[in-house]
């Protein structure tokens, strides 16, 4: 059992109000210093990386209590309760209050409240870039779904680090977390980076562009490298493009003008992995 179990019944409770802000404001984690992981999939992925949850929040309809009785032996209820019990503290809320703050159409009935990583909102906290590891650089990628999908591809295809330039969708926002499906916890994530800091990667930068010097799969690709993916409409900014060793494009014989940035990322990262595994 967790060290502390607390029942909250008021929607005006300060914890409920914090959860509402975290679930509804994509930048709230930067102000509050906490991240809200809503749903059993994110909670399971968090624990699977060996991390410890300070606080679990669970709906009363999903909490079995000390003796695990009731609820007709529902396996989902048992699963949610088992995850919650691995936190240091469990907060039990009526399901009606859960609906005050949830970011989902159907309440997930479980979430973890964890400490936010250092993420200087106005550049006050300098990002720490790890040199020499396979990296993805996101230059003002705006759509939260795209950002989360890129994180999933990066984690799956051997990338160690994702660097989000200032102007990119907030990496730890609820929508990016849901789209990332747990990929966050296997990556070193840096936010609010500035173009002049990319030199600290100590890697050649390779940008995707429809007006490229080289075309995959014949393009020269350094190993390791940092793939640079740009704004959905504007592409990679000139200040970052000037730092890139190569620009590459993806052949599209079907005649489309461009690929969605998340799809392009998956293609490029797979090509890097294929070569790393001796496929060329």
Q: Which domains does the chain have, with CATH numbers?
A: 4-115 (3.30.1330.30), 135-276 (3.40.1280.10)
Q: What pLDDT is attached to residue 212?
A: 82
Q: How far apart are CA 191 and CA 120, in angstroms?
A: 8
Q: What pLDDT is attached to residue 17?
A: 96
Mean pLDDT estimate for the chain: 90
DSSP string for 193-224 = E-GGGGGGG-S-EEEE-SS-SEETTTS---SS
Measuring CA to CA, how many Å separate 29 from each of 24, 91, 207? 11, 20, 30
111 has a pLDDT exceeding 70: yes
Residue 226 three-state SS:
strand
Give me the mean pLDDT over the 188-210 stretch: 94
Q: 144-156 and 261-276 helices cross at what angle (nearest 10)?
A: 10
Share of the chain above pLDDT 70, in %: 91
Q: pLDDT-derived band of residue 105, with 50, 70 and 90 as boundaries?
A: confident
Question: How many residues make up the chain in this entry?
Answer: 280
Closest CA to 263 of 192, 188, 208: 208
83 has a pLDDT exceeding 80: yes
Contacts of 269 (CB under 8 A, 6+ apart): 136, 153, 154, 157, 158, 159, 227
Q: What pLDDT is attached to residue 65?
A: 63
Give me the mean pLDDT over the 48-69 stretch: 83
Q: What pLDDT is attached to residue 124?
A: 45
More confident residue, 147 or 105: 147
70 has a pLDDT exceeding 50: no
More confident residue, 114 or 233: 114
Mean pLDDT is lowest, of 145-159, 161-175, 265-279, for: 265-279
Give me the mean pLDDT over the 52-63 stretch: 94
136 has a pLDDT exceeding 80: yes
Share of the chain above pLDDT 90, in %: 73
Give me the mean pLDDT over the 116-131 stretch: 65
25 has a pLDDT exceeding 80: yes
Mean pLDDT is lowest, of 141-155, 156-170, 240-254, for: 240-254
More confident residue, 2 or 133: 133
């Amino acid at each position: 059992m967790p060290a502390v179990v607390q029942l909250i019944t008021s929607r005006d409770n300060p914890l409920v109000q914090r959860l509402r802000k975290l679930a509804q404001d994509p930048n709230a984690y930067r102000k509050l210093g906490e991240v809200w992981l809503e749903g059993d999939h994110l909670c399971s992925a968090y624990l699977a990386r060996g991390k410890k949850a300070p606080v679990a929040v669970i709906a009363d309809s999903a909490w079995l209590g000390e003796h695990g009785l009731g609820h007709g032996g529902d396996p989902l209820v048992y699963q949610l309760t088992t995850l919650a019990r691995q936190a240091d503290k469990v907060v039990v809320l009526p399901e009606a209050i859960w609906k005050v703050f949830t970011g989902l159409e159907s309440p997930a009935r479980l979430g973890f409240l964890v400490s936010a990583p250092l993420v200087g909102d106005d550049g006050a906290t300098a990002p720490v870039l790890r040199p020499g590891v396979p990296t993805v650089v996101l230059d003002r990628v705006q759509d939260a779904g795209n950002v989360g999908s890129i994180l999933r591809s990066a984690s799956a295809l051997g990338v160690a680090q994702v660097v989000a330039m200032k102007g990119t969708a907030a990496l730890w926002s609820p929508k990016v977390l849901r789209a990332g499906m747990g990929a966050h916890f296997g990556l070193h994530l840096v936010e609010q980076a500035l173009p002049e800091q990319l030199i600290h990667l100590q890697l050649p930068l390779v940008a995707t562009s429809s007006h490229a010097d080289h075309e995959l799969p014949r393009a020269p690709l350094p190993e390791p490298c940092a793939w640079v993916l740009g704004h959905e409409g504007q592409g990679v900014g000139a200040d970052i493009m000037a730092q890139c060793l190569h620009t590459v494009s993806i052949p599209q014989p079907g005649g489309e003008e461009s690929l969605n940035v998340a799809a392009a990322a998956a293609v490029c990262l797979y090509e890097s992995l294929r070569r790393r595994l001796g496929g060329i």
